[in-house]
Amino acid sequence: MSEPIITFSKVNKWYGNSFHVLRDIDLTVTRGERIVICGPSGSGKSTLIRCINGLEEHQEGSIVVDGTEISDDIRAIEKVRREVGMVFQQFNLFPHLTVLENLTLAPMWVGKTPKAEAEKRAMLQLERVKIAEQAHKYPLQLSGGQQQRVAIARALCLTPKVMLFDEPTSALDPEMIKEVLDVMIELANQGITMICVTHEMGFAKAVADRVIFMDQGQIVEQNKPHEFFNNPQSERTRDFLSKILGH
């Protein structure tokens, strides 16, 4: 087995004093692994991946990303963030910057890459997500699917070791989901480590090495996609699958 890139050990997180959102999470992700996390809303799946790059802080246990532990030390967190790209449900592109500027921002201001070099690399990423011709438009001039592809390209600009996807297709019109999934599948085939919170079970079947099912802040079950879908172990998983695949 190849070496781990992300390790959760006994991670617990609370919102406020009473809401126990992550409970005793143990999870190891190996380099190049593609993981899909699913589960009902409120089960803690988004919170889990947002803990990986320190957008949420956990109160107990440890999270180690590529040898760096996520702690109160903002330097450690910023180091991790440079190595972990993230794509959000609501795209979160910067509306006051052009597509190209959205992509060059981090390389220029975090990576200290010269402008010309950053733009050259940004164009390569835009070609990768098949949207190079929109480089000089503003995000709000693009369709939802195009915006999400720009967001993926933006996350790729720092050449991350891990990509996190937080329900990347949930805010899209049905017609646009495919173009985003196609880009994600292509990315998956290029061997980057991916953790993806999604309900696109077709995507899970096509590319995931492992599917994780979460409920009430816990990992209920995890397995290879074929096993997961055809032979779920727990009653809760069967119930969930019957609801999302049932029609």
Instruction: Please select the residue that binds other proteins; options are 64, 97, 132, 206, rule is CB under 8 A.
Output: 97
What is the distance between the alpha carbons of residues 18 and 40, in angstroms, rounded to a whole number? 20
Measured from the CB atom, the residue of 49 and 220 that comes closer to other proteins is 49
Tell me the three state secondary structure of residue 245.
helix
Instruction: Please select the residue that binds other proteins; options are 5, 35, 84, 208, rule is CB under 8 A.
Output: 84
What is the distance between the alpha carbons of residues 194 and 209, in angstroms, rounded to a whole number? 10
Instruction: Please select the residue that binds other proteins; options are 11, 22, 34, 85, rule is CB under 8 A.
Output: 85
CB of 57 to other proteins, least distance (A): 12
Phi, psi (deg, nearest 5) at residue 90: -95, 25
Residue type for position 157: C
**Do 169 and 198 touch, CB atoms closer than 8 A?**
yes
* 195 counts as binding other proteins under rule CB under 8 A: no
Measured from the CB atom, the residue of 128 and 205 that comes closer to other proteins is 128
Measured from the CB atom, the residue of 99 and 211 that comes closer to other proteins is 99
What is the distance between the alpha carbons of residues 114 and 77, in angstroms, rounded to a whole number? 24
* 138 counts as binding other proteins under rule CB under 8 A: yes
- Tell me the helix, strand and coil percentages in the chain, rounded to 5: 40, 25, 35
* 165 counts as binding other proteins under rule CB under 8 A: no
* 76 counts as binding other proteins under rule CB under 8 A: no
Phi, psi (deg, nearest 5) at residue 47: -55, -40
Instruction: Please select the residue that binds other proteins; options are 25, 86, 214, 220, rule is CB under 8 A.
Output: 86
User: Binding residues for other proteins, per CB under 8 A?
Assistant: 53-55, 74, 78, 81-82, 84-86, 88, 90, 92-98, 105-106, 109-110, 138-141, 151, 154-155, 158
